[in-house]
């Protein structure tokens, strides 16, 4: 089963080399067909130049520039329309996600034949390194609200780092979120449409370079919109969008 990794990247020239190297090193000795698909979201720094040089070294690396519209959700959507694998993970360009966790996600999907594998940083075995305290408080409140509204047990919906089979991605289209709210749209749609999933622990490490692109003050209403959309679909769509078994 070929694995694709979609990585949205905006002004990540300082981080992207280590991210690509880390993924390639982790998979180099494994019999897994890997595609690393970086979507440059019209960066204003020299990210494209860095990626061009990296492509000469790493045969698994592919990149394209999303000319627009731009935004975190648009960049991921661009990649999810163009990846070549049988399954696809969304990872960040800032070194926050662990390649070793990705291997665990992949092996779990293959062994259990799950449609999705979700990580949680907040279950036994999960790990946070240098997580900003205010961001953590907001994160836990947001996930508590999501769990209550959607009546689910999963406690880390907001993290983008997840693995989906191609059939799952196709089954939860079209995507509505142009920004970071896509992180909750993908798993919530997969859950309410009946795709199988399991949850495994994963780690998160704060970025070494640059600054976070997530602006919490700008995202509240956008997260709320997607949450309400998924709530309405779950309780009022009469199963019209359910997975066809």
Residues sharing a CB contact under 8 Å with residue 171, sequence separation 6 or more, in sequence order: 190, 193, 195, 243
243 domain-assigned: no
pLDDT in tens, 83-129: 999 999 999 998 899 999 999 999 999 999 999 999 999 999 999 99
- Region 151-170: mean pLDDT is 96
pLDDT at residue number 245 = 74
Residues sharing a CB contact under 8 Å with residue 181, sequence separation 6 or more, in sequence order: 73, 219, 222, 223, 225, 226
27 domain-assigned: yes
DSSP assignment of 113-155: T-SEEEEESSSTT-EEES--HHHHHHHHHHHHHHHHHHT----
**Residue 202, domain CATH:** 3.90.550.10
Ranking 81-85, 170-174, 203-207 by mean pLDDT, the lowest is 203-207
pLDDT at residue number 95 = 85
Query: Angle formed by the axes of helices 182-192 and 72-80, to 10°?
Result: 50
**Cβ pair 234, 157 in contact under 8 A:** no
36 domain-assigned: yes
Question: Which residue segment(s) compose the domain that 136 sits in?
Answer: 3-236
- Region 215-244: mean pLDDT is 86
Domain count, the chain: 1
pLDDT at residue number 211 = 57
Average pLDDT, the chain: 93
Q: Read off the pTM.
A: 0.92
244 domain-assigned: no
Sorting pLDDT into bands at 50, 70 and 90, what band is 214? low
């Amino acid at each position: 089963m070929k694995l694709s990794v979609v990585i949205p990247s905006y002004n990540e020239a300082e981080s992207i080399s280590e991210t690509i190297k880390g993924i390639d090193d982790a998979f180099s000795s494994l019999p897994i067909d890997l595609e690393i698909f970086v979507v440059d979201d019209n960066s204003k720094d020299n990210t494209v130049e860095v990626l061009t040089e990296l492509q000469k070294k790493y045969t698994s690396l592919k990149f394209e520039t999303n000319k627009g519209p731009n935004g975190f959700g648009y960049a991921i959507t661009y990649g999810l329309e163009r990846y070549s694998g049988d399954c696809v993970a969304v990872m960040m360009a800032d070194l926050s996600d662990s390649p070793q966790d990705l291997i665990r996600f992949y092996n779990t999907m293959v062994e259990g034949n799950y449609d999705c594998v979700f990580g949680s940083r907040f279950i036994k075995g999960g790990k946070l390194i240098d997580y900003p305290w205010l961001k953590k408080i907001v994160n836990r409140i947001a996930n508590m609200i999501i769990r209550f509204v959607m009546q689910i047990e999963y406690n880390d919906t907001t993290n983008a780092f997840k693995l989906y089979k191609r059939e799952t991605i196709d089954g939860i289209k079209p995507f509505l979120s142009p920004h970071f709210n896509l992180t909750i749209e993908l798993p919530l749609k997969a859950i309410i449409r009946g795709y199988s999933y399991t949850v495994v622990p994963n780690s998160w490490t704060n970025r070494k370079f640059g600054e976070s692109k997530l602006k919490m003050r700008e995202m509240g209403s956008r997260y709320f919109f997607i949450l309400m959309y998924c709530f309405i679909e779950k309780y009022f769509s009469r199963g019209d969008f359910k997975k066809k078994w």
